[in-house]
Chain A
Amino acid sequence: DAKTTQPPSMDCAEGRAANLPCNHSTISGNEYVYWYRQIHSQGPQYIIHGLKNNETNEMASLIITEDRKSSTLILPHATLRDTAVYYCIVRIIQGAQKLVFGQGTRLTINP
């Protein structure tokens, strides 16, 4: 699976949009981009995933560049409860494949 690069930490003001970048320059054509987050002392929570089109759900939006070498997770109106470590992972969807976690981005939402 392709390697991802994320900033180690970010801050965002409550109520503002939080934009979390992820670089995956070696991504293959059949690899999806997944985002998870982990709030302290809990299991990771699935947020969203996509292949090449932008995706939106009730939690967030995923913007993937046209060359697919990077993506941005957008939390439109961040709340204090969005403080967590956010992981960007790329992998193929072919059977039940494992997810390999990097170090992620520690996002802190400030009041």
Chain B
Amino acid sequence: GAVVSQHPSRVICKSGTSVKIECRSLDFQATTMFWYRQFPKQSLMLMATSNEGSKATYEQGVEKDKFLINHASLTLSTLTVTSAHPEDSSFYICSAWTSGGAETQYFGPGTRLLVL
């Protein structure tokens, strides 16, 4: 299947700093990508839809100024957690749809963020 990568896979940062997570579609172009967050023992929660060349669409309750999303190219979306706090510690996962008659959404391997 199609490949979606994330970088870094794991990051530890101090409270108050900002962290950028990259999501890349390696063998296909993705005009739309999605960002999810997952807390321990819980399901994935959609945070936002990332649209290439335009503003992201955030789910209700997700602070757009705290979770900055940039989708500057057809293969790259970035999520920046600004002024991170311990409660932002979570597993962040991105995904993207392939198209062309076999519509399937593929997910990245995830980024584990720990804010101290």
Residues of A within 8 A of B (CB): 34, 36, 38, 41-46, 49, 87, 93, 95-104
Contacts and interface: CB of A to CB of B under 8 A. Distances in A.
A41 B106 contact: no
Contacts of A45: 107
Nearest to A38: B44
Q: Give the interface size class of chain B.
A: 20 to 34
Is the contact region of chain B dominated by helix, strand, or loop, or is it mixed?
strand
B110 A102 contact: no
Contact of B105 (A38, A46, A102): A46
A49 B104 contact: yes
B34 A42 contact: no
Contact of A101 (B4, B43, B97): B43
29 contacts: A36-B107, A41-B91, A41-B110, A42-B109, A42-B110, A43-B6, A43-B93, A43-B109, A44-B44, A44-B93, A45-B107, A46-B1, A46-B104, A46-B106, A49-B104, A93-B103, A96-B30, A96-B31, A96-B96, A96-B97, A96-B99, A97-B97, A98-B34, A98-B49, A99-B34, A99-B105, A101-B36, A101-B44, A101-B46
